[in-house]
Structure 1
Amino acid sequence: MTAVVEPVGDTAIAVRAEGLGKRYRDNWALRECSFELPAGRVAALVGANGAGKTTLMSVLVGLLQADEGRADAEGRVAFVSQDKPVYRNFSPAEVLDLGARLNVVWDRQRALRWLDRFEIPLKRACGKLSGGQQAQVAFALALGSRPAVLMLDEPLANLDPLARREVAAQLLTEVADTGMTVLLSTHVVTELAGVADHLLLLAHGRLLAGGDLDALLERHVHYTGPTSAQAPVPGEVLEAKHVGGQSSFLVALPDGAKPATPDQWVARDVTLEDYVLTQLAATRKGPIA
């Protein structure tokens, strides 16, 4: 399957990858990965477990060296890994003191505001905080460094449903207030509702699609109608189902323009979940070569 990557145009680029590849012995975890992430966007890095999301993020932030290609990020980059490590014997206040020593640029008030929003006790040892509270300390430490690009690996995994919604809302506020770019990885598509405006879709270490989320979804339509061997409109059929005397097709339109819906057929917009699950289902052929 050919990757669908939207052109960015003249927009400032926060993160750029060109032909990235990363190999562990004889196995490629990442291959031929190229994209441009515009500045000031909230981008979702989506894929099943083992798709290569953590490897890609680790290469982008310099924790791993790519075996092929190159990557660049503009300005300061902060990274919160999936396990969100904090020093268990340090209190959140001491973690922020450490942040001041380790970062050339440091905004303690910004970090404190984040902890205050989520009522994190400043003097309690991090080892005595819940997993969700420890995650908030890691977020505060990252934000205090005033990054131009914030990368978060499965950022909502340790949070309860209410905290997930509040963290997502606060991240959007930070982006609006500062122009920061956020790249967050997840394998749970429902977490992205109302959060991401840009998509990077990975499967078996390869980029399947990338670009403005609305533009990607607008090029696809779901049709339901009478039993038929072919879709009712021209385009690439990504999914076809035939159940109970009805057929349904998810169609990628050739030029993005939606044609008139034929008689006896019902058209509906494609959701992010529709799009992602259909794309991933088409890749169940094993690891990349």
Structure 2
Amino acid sequence: MSVVAAEVSKWAVRNVSFELPPGSVTAMVGANGSGKSTLLNVLAGRLPAESGHTAVAGRVAYVPQHKPMYRSFKVADVLNFGRRMNDVWDEERADGWLTRFKIPRRLQIGDLSGGQRTHVTLALALGSRPDVLLLDEPLADLDPLARQRVMRELLTEVSDKGLTLVFSTHVVAEIGGVADRLLLLSNGRLLVDGDTDELLEQHVLYTGPHASKSPVEGPVVLAKHGKAQSTFLVRSGGQRIDAPWTARYVTLEELVVAHLERAA
């Protein structure tokens, strides 16, 4: 299974190309307005690409950030709606999600909290038994503890059902230890695409005396200079360095921020 996007929208997302393996968890990261929602809409088939193409193998479920639902529907009505509108429907899977998070079936959507509405939309999406699940800022309405639990449950879905999960976020802390792939967007362009662990092994921060040039070979992602000290973030994979220079691998947040700073 693969998800491919190329030269999507000229006005919102441009020259974007990537492929995701089945059963992977991909975080689509970027500031507000970077093109994340547009790209997810293209992948979900809700927005046509002006050029290029997308290809998604299997059934796709998409949960947009605003989570549209009929406010007068009761939670039970939403599940009934999902059962009637989907050729393939897993009532146990959808109902089980609501049970685990204690969502009352008798309440109307308009009376639910933002977090509760998130659970209803996730139950509806999972009930359709998707092969690919696309989520736009799925944790935005949840408190920190609920965020962790929801992500654990989604990872269980990936592990048990072979689901391919793609979720967008602008909060880097949400992807640590969760996503095995990273798509970093800025101003509609793809800056970084790759396996998270491999990306972290490739990016090394070198610190030493003030210098106009990096002490090692490799593409410099970002350089900063003080009166007596310089730092170079280099996509080098790590190289031996002599004193007074020091080297260390960066955190995922440092990697993301550096690429965004460079793009800005």
Is 2:34 the partner of 1:51? yes
Moved over 6 A (4+): none
Q: How does 1:117-196 map to 2 (within 5 A)?
A: 117-196=100-179
**1:69-148 equivalence runs, <5 A:** 69-148=52-131
Please name the residue that 2:25 is paired with. 42
* Equivalent residues of 1:14, 1:181 under 8 A apart: no
The answer to whether residue 261 in structure 2 is matched with residue 281 in structure 1 is yes
Per mean C-alpha deviation after superposition, the further-off stretch among 258-267 and 94-103 is 258-267
Amino acid at match of 2:262: A
Distance apart, 1:263 and its partner CA: 1.5
Is residue 8 of structure 2 the alignment partner of residue 21 of structure 1? yes
CA distance in 2, matches of 1:101, 1:236: 54
**1:179-202 CA distance string (max 9 Å, x none):** 100000111111111111101111
- In the TM superposition, residue 227 of structure 1 has moved relative to its aligned partner by 2.3
Deviation at 1:244, TM superposition (A): 5.6
CA distance in 1, matches of 2:247, 2:104: 52
- The size of the alignment, in residue pairs, is 264
C-alpha separation between the residues in 1 aligned to 2:220 and 2:193? 19
Deviation at 1:76, TM superposition (A): 0.3
Percent sequence identity is 55
5+ unaligned residues in a row in structure 1: which ranges? 1-12, 285-289
Identify the residue that residue 262 of structure 1 maps to in structure 2. Answer: 242
For structure 2, the residue ranges without an aligned partner over 5 or more in a row are none
Are the counterparts in 2 of residues 16 and 73 from structure 1 also a CA contact under 8 Å? yes
The structure whose residues are more often strand, as a share, is: 1
Q: Contact 1:14–1:149 at 8 Å: present in 2 too?
A: no
- Cα distance in 2 for partners of 1:193, 1:84 equals 25
In the alignment, residue 3 of structure 2 is paired with which amino acid? V
- 1:240 is aligned, of 193, 215, 223, to 223
Q: Give 2:81's aligned amino acid.
A: L
CA offsets 1:225-283 (integer angstroms, 9 cap, x no match): 22222222111211122236222111111xx3x22132222211121111111111112
TM-superposed deviation, 1:147: 0.3
Corresponding residue of 1:6: none
RMSD (Å), alpha carbons: 1.2
Contact 1:100 1:106 in 2 (8 A): yes
TM-score, with normalisation over the residues of structure 1?
0.88
- Give the TM-score of the pair, scaled to structure 2: 0.96
Q: CA deviation at 1:75?
A: 0.4
Contact kept? 1:232, 1:262, Cα under 8 Å:
no
Match of 2:51 among 36, 58, 68: 68
Instruction: State the shift of 1:16 in Å.
Output: 1.5
